[in-house]
Structure 1
Amino acid sequence: MRFDPWNPDFVAHPYDVYAELRREAPVSYFEPADQWLIARHADVDELLRDRRLGRSYLHVATDEEFGRPPEPEFQEPFWRVVRAGMLDVEPPVHTRLRRLVSKAFTPRMVESLRPRVRAIAEGLVDAYVEKGGGDLIAEVAEPLPVTVIAEMLGIPERDRHLLRPWSSDICLMYELNPSEEMQHTAVRAADEFAEYLRGLARERAGKPGDDLISALAGIPELTEDELIGTCVLLLNAGHEATVNATGNGWWALFRNPDELARLRADRSLLPTAIEEVLRWDTPAQMFERWVLEDIEVGGVRIPRGAEVALLFGSANRDPEVFDDPDRFDAGRKDNPHISFGLGIHYCLGAPLARIEMVESFGALLDRTPALELVREPEWKPGYIIRGLQGLELSTR
């Protein structure tokens, strides 16, 4: 098998192909996506920190100057929302937005959420156990981070069912060569979510509450569009990866029963086990960057205007960095995985994601001594954001 992100067999198990790339073609051009694949940890690590690359190029050049076709006009509502947040912009705009948002998203504030996260996780798991199991992703993995981010933002409970579909649809735009139908779906979701948040932000600006939208609305330097773009990003980044990491992680444990038994016997391993989950089967298999100046990677020249595909899933299995990298080790101590990124775009929500996963895994381990796999799961078709369709388990 070769690198083929549209092939379900590759999506289900890309790691043998990654190993071949690292050995034989660590920097290679992938014509179907017009990208340069970067497979080794050292190169991915370096490029994530290299300011000659960017999530966008529009701060230094037009599409025409960069040799790229203009974005279709129908996509304008999508990019207006997304580029008002910090994910797809570069300094100085990124620097200003991250500084402002960080004021309302401090480590102390995030840690203060732990008791509430634990209570939500325990409630979801109790209901799951009472039913005798079911789809762990739909009934525990999804509602936990959605509820947490919704409570943080101050989304009324009656509207929270809208969040996950909006997020999933918005993320379709980030898949490789998305179909026109996928693009239109993403645009529609971004537009609907933005209009919903606009109304909520204006309401909170006049009558603030104890929530993140109110806090952001109280920052004079943050425009309304930037507030909306930030909230959309916090929803997408704040739960999309956590949902998939939770499903991938439990599937990893069922495929490594000795490590699951080890974790049940020693709950102090939970923090390192979560890091290993993120390394061993990361939900973010690839992140892309634009080359703003000519660079050389592994002796290969990559010109300005090219796009590099940083293979996080490959970097996290690089034997140059990780001992016995294909082995799942719940107690792995030296674990410099890059699943949250590096450099200026390092995930702002990483501390919250870790808390959510530790608390949900802990609640399941505490309350389900007889947790068993009902059937082998199937992977969703997406490659860049990679996760399971569902995970059917029994607690009886």
Structure 2
Amino acid sequence: MSSALAAIPRSAAADQPIPVSGACLRSPEIARDPYPTYAHLRELGDIVRLSNERCYAATTYESVTAVLRSRQATVESPFRASRVLFGRTVMDVDGDEHIQLRALSSRAFSVAAVPAYEDTIVAEAVRAVIDDLDGRPSFDAVADFADRVPIAVMSAVIGVPRELREPFRACSEDVIAFLDTATPENRDRARTALARMSADLTEVIAATRARPDGTLIGQLVTGTGSKGPLTDEEILRHIGLLIPAAIDTSNRLLANVIACLVTRPTLLDQVTADPRLVPGVVDETLRFEPPIHSTVRIWTGTEVCGVTLPRGALITVLLASANRDRAVFADPDSFDPTRDASRHVSFGAGRHRCMGRAMAQVEVVGAITALLRRCPGLRLAPGAGTAITGTAFRSPTTLPLEYTPTEHPHLERP
């Protein structure tokens, strides 16, 4: 925790700015370990006023869920990075428009639809990625596994041809880099990448219009919006945001789960011996080390959690801080996959709660289960680091692992 944060008086009120800015919450020091800072902010109050003009942070489980569920908190802002790249999307509109846009993907990612993917799309994608390890006794869990499974799964669900997976994954990295750090340089790279992806997607949309199928693009080309059949531009805007958003969340979560396991060898042995423990490990990772730590809302009302905020105040909603609130989770700084972690807010809450949460969990549970079965003796490579870093987006950048290859690795199947 920085000296500036440590010096904050615990009696600070929400109407008295503390010497911490939004930029401070994204400093390299906090990127290494944000949790002591979150704990100190929670002690200061549910809503803490930052040093920036009209900027606040929701720090506790009560305030985070209250803001996310409030009709007085909106995502509408022309300055959101996603709005700069994509225009009006499901991520940054409210009201009837949000309901209509959300409905476009709701069938593909509904709780009823997702189980059908587990033994087909997810199993096939994970099998192909592990096959590509080709019996190598060492690999990078990030580059060789976590970065590859989500793009394979989502491409199949959305309707993206195999040959476009790698270009779209690279595009997603440029988009997420801008959403994380909205510099002019990152913006220009993201726009260039999106232009390439849009050109490829336009061809896919045209082919799917000619022969609609059961993919998400197939559903969109035959669906309707508020003004009738969807145009190519509307589909491009919707899919263009969905691809990086879905891929980035899942690959970071997958990497974080692996990191949490390989740094706890006893737990790793237990989960390897009993795959029924995997769902609990995934849920606890979502609480303990989530891939996304914060989101933002614009306040249009008056009071939240007993604190009066000015109209138009910007609230940084600290999801990861809420997940460590001891008022909700006992011993919150311990990783305990036997606890009921289902109340975590890593997928958000309220009307903007992540629509792909069921898909992400099925995908990650399936990937971890298959990885442990097909890569026996999985362990951290000697001397390898396991640092999980980041602020808004958080995961390891590399995670070197070793395992003991079987004699015939391709004969093992999920």
Task: Name the TM-score, length of structure 2 as normaliser.
Answer: 0.84
TM superposition shift of 1:303: 1.2
In structure 1, how many angstroms separate the alpha carbons of the residues matched to 2:267 and 2:309?
Answer: 42
Which position in structure 2 is the counterpart of 1:133? 138
In structure 2, how many angstroms separate the alpha carbons of the residues matched to 1:80 and 1:218?
Answer: 28
TM superposition shift of 1:193: 2.5
Q: 1:57 to 1:161 in 2, by over 3 A?
A: closer
Which position in structure 2 is the counterpart of 1:79? 83
Q: Which amino acid aligns with 1:331?
A: T
In structure 2, how many angstroms separate the alpha carbons of the residues matched to 1:202 and 1:281?
Answer: 41
SS in 2 for 1:108: coil
SS in 2 for 1:31: coil
Q: Is the 8 A contact 2:60 2:322 kept in 1?
A: yes
User: Which deviations, in whole Å up to 9, do the C-alpha atoms of 1:300-352 show, x marking residues without a partner?
Assistant: 32211111111111111110000111111121125310111111111111111
The list of structure 1 runs, each at least 4 consecutive aligned residues, that deviate by more than 6 angstroms after superposition, is: none
One of 357, 374, 378 as aligned partner of 1:367: 374
Query: For this pair of structures, how many residues does the alignment match?
Result: 377
Is 1:337 aligned with 2:344?
yes
Is 1:197 aligned with 2:201?
yes
Is 1:249 aligned with 2:257?
yes
Is 1:39 aligned with 2:59?
yes
State the superposition RMSD in angstroms: 2.3
Which position in structure 1 is the counterpart of 2:11? none
User: Which deviations, in whole Å up to 9, do the C-alpha atoms of 1:64-86 show, x marking residues without a partner?
Assistant: xxxxxxx59xx8xx637633431
Task: Name the TM-score, length of structure 1 as normaliser.
Answer: 0.88
Q: Is the 8 A contact 2:107 2:113 kept in 1?
A: no
In structure 1, how many angstroms separate the alpha carbons of the residues matched to 2:342 and 2:109?
Answer: 26
In structure 2, how many angstroms separate the alpha carbons of the residues matched to 1:386 and 1:6?
Answer: 11
Which position in structure 2 is the counterpart of 1:283? 291
TM superposition shift of 1:28: 1.9
Q: Is the 8 A contact 1:56 1:89 kept in 2?
A: yes
User: Which deviations, in whole Å up to 9, do the C-alpha atoms of 1:160-188 show, x marking residues without a partner?
Assistant: 11111211211223225x32212222233
Is 1:260 aligned with 2:280?
no
In structure 2, how many angstroms separate the alpha carbons of the residues matched to 1:351 and 1:105?
Answer: 7
Q: Summarize the alignment of residues 202-217 of structure 1 with structure 2, pairs less than 5 Å apart.
A: 202-217=206-221
Percent identical among aligned pairs is 28
Which position in structure 2 is the counterpart of 1:307? 314
One of 325, 329, 344 as aligned partner of 1:322: 329
User: Which deviations, in whole Å up to 9, do the C-alpha atoms of 1:242-261 show, x marking residues without a partner?
Assistant: 10111111111233333223
Q: Is the 8 A contact 1:84 1:228 kept in 2?
A: no
Q: Is the 8 A contact 2:108 2:114 kept in 1?
A: no
Q: Is the 8 A contact 1:275 1:335 kept in 2?
A: yes
Q: 1:103 to 1:265 in 2, by over 3 A?
A: closer
- Bigger drift between 32-41 and 149-158 goes to 32-41
Kindly indicate whether structure 1 or structure 2 has the higher relative contact order, using CA contacts under 8 Å at least 6 residues apart. Answer: 1
In structure 2, how many angstroms separate the alpha carbons of the residues matched to 1:255 and 1:279?
Answer: 17
One of 370, 376, 380 as aligned partner of 2:385: 376
One of 242, 257, 277 as aligned partner of 1:269: 277
One of 171, 175, 180 as aligned partner of 1:175: 180
In structure 1, how many angstroms separate the alpha carbons of the residues matched to 2:123 and 2:107?
Answer: 24
One of 380, 388, 396 as aligned partner of 2:396: 388
Q: 1:12 to 1:196 in 2, by over 3 A?
A: same
Which position in structure 2 is the counterpart of 1:346? 353
Q: 1:344 to 1:143 in 2, by over 3 A?
A: same
Q: Is the 8 A contact 1:82 1:88 kept in 2?
A: no
- Bigger drift between 79-88 and 264-273 goes to 79-88
In structure 2, how many angstroms separate the alpha carbons of the residues matched to 1:132 and 1:386?
Answer: 27
Instruction: Flag structure 1 segments of 5+ consecutive residues without an equivalent.
Output: 59-70
In structure 2, how many angstroms separate the alpha carbons of the residues matched to 1:33 and 1:254?
Answer: 43
TM superposition shift of 1:6: 3.6
